[in-house]
Amino acid sequence: MSEESNVRFTEREALFYHNTIRPGKIEIIASKPMATQRDLSLAYSPGVAVPVRAIAENPADAYEYTAKGN
């Protein structure tokens, strides 16, 4: 396999691609609403303790309450 590619572009095109809209290529976004104090309390302490306890009682619940199965 050749080190060179047949794809052609200018340096300006490459810089524009990496800089437009948002710099970079990957974005992480929340999967749940986190706009209010209540939302944050459910997502973090104290709300996160509830699924943690459920998982401690039944480890298979980790697939239901977390992204473990992803």
Number of domains in the chain: 1
Look at residue 16 and tell me if it is in a domain.
no
Cα distances from 27 to residues 6, 15, 53, 54, 69, in angstroms, run 29, 18, 31, 30, 20
When pLDDT is cut at 50, 70 and 90, the band that residue 69 belongs to is: confident
pTM of structure: 0.62
69 within 8 A of 63, measured Cβ to Cβ: yes
Look at residue 17 and tell me if it is in a domain.
no
Asked whether the predicted pLDDT for residue 52 surpasses 90, the reply is: yes
Joined tokens for residue 20 = 């437009």
Look at residue 1 and tell me if it is in a domain.
no
Asked whether the predicted pLDDT for residue 2 surpasses 70, the reply is: no
State the residue range of the domain holding 69: 30-70
Look at residue 13 and tell me if it is in a domain.
no
Which residue would you say has higher pLDDT here, 38 or 6?
Answer: 38
Of 34, 56, 37, 38, which Cα lies nearest the Cα of 66? 56
Query: How much is the mean pLDDT over the chain?
Result: 90
Joined tokens for residue 48 = 């996160």
